[in-house]
Amino acid sequence: MLKKQDRTLRILGLEVIRMVLNIFKHRLPQNIQSEVLKNISPLIKDEDLQLAQLALDLCIAIMNIPTTNSSQYNEVITNCVLLSKSSMVRGNVLEKLKELFTLIAVSDIIDTPSILERLMADINKASLVPTSSCATAVLSKIRSVINPYFPKFIDNVYILN
């Protein structure tokens, strides 16, 4: 249903997946987790912020299920970084993005310097608020990496003004 063109069907599909996740919680097999992430990852973009928010919510639910395969999150992380650079991201979508980046930092799915490098690359004035909010979410949980990246981030912000 998530690959259909009809927006309503996509929303219903995401809601059904959410109900299944709530029912199975920690018993959800890893291959199904990977399949869900693979199918919802393309929805994490600024073309439809409601779908993006629902997809982010599902990613957060899946990240709360213990897993050993961190590679299944690669496309999700890439799309989240791209979404954080959109000037349209505000409100609930931004809150979900920040929550997801916090979980990413805490769970060590990807090394923190790598995620910060990706967030700080190509910052522009229009996306300064969402990008800096996501970087702050990562940094707030991982204090040991703040020192090398904070000056670079401040320099990037200063250049934009």
Q: What is the pLDDT of residues 32-81, one digit of tens each?
A: 888 889 999 999 999 999 999 999 999 999 888 776 567 788 899 999 99
Least-confidence region, from 61-70, 74-83, 93-102, 148-157: 148-157
Q: Who has greater pLDDT, 18 or 144? A: 18
Cα dihedral 121, 72, 146, 117, rounded to 10, equals -20
Model confidence at 24, in pLDDT bands (50, 70, 90)? confident
In eight-state DSSP terms, residue 4 is: S
CA atoms of 18 and 62, how far apart (whole Å): 10
CA atoms of 37 and 57, how far apart (whole Å): 11
119-140 in b/e form (b: 16+ CB < 10 A) is: bbeebeeebbebbbbbbebbbe
Beta strands in the chain (DSSP E): none
Q: Is the pLDDT of residue 100 over 90?
A: yes
Q: What is the pTM of this model?
A: 0.82
* Token output for 105: 């930092």
